[in-house]
Amino acid sequence: LTGISREQRAFQYLLAHAIPGDPHHVLQTFDQWCYHCEHLSCVGPAKGRIVERLLLERAPLRVLELGTYCGYGTVLLAQGLLPGARLYTVEGDPQHAAVAEKVIRLAGFDEQTVELIVGPSEEVIPQLREKHGLTKADLVFMDHWKRCYLRDLQLLESHQLLAEGATILADNVLFPGAPHFLQYAKTCGKYHCKVHRASLEY
């Protein structure tokens, strides 16, 4: 009715309540909005702990996120990066990307740390090396359209964008589900698979 999207409303709440330059507080404020005001399909704090643990264990220098949405996952990933590490995040929806850009900068991350790329993942992935300077990703976080997971993983493979021993973290593979991706990951012989049990966001 207001003509303002749910994502923009969430950002207005962040502007009013979050501490600029404090990524942890930005995420907490996001969580407050999603618990008490309107649901957004962000990673959320429960699954966020899995992401944080993997970042600590793997200490990746080059991270690729597919599906920026509002920037929640981006801020979560960026706050766990080592000094000098870089995050590339890809969002196909320009309106979501516009919100995410503001959220990422509000949290205190500049373009040297987080590069937001707007465009369909199937078009962006083949350009990552030439256009954006991503030679190999140490960690890939997939949180975009589930039907694109398998296609995009195979695109990353065919363009040799995965570092040796790279970690692929994919959200919501059981529900709403990405069965073809899951079957491929388990049976192709290239990956060791682990399913992390979690509830839906918020």
So which residues are the catalytic ones? 143, 146, 171-172, 201
Residues 45, 38 contacting (CB under 8 angstroms) = no
Question: Which helix (H) or strand (E) is 141 found in, with range?
Answer: strand 137-142
* Angstrom distance (rounded) from CA 190 to CA 156: 13
158 by DSSP, 3-state: which?
helix
DSSP letters along 39-104, please?
-----HHHHHHHHHHHHHHH--SEEEEE--TTSHHHHHHHHTPPTT-EEEEEES-HHHHHHHHHHH
139 by DSSP, 3-state: which?
strand
Q: Which residue has the tokens 């590069």?
A: 115
Question: Which helix (H) or strand (E) is 117 found in, with range?
Answer: strand 114-118
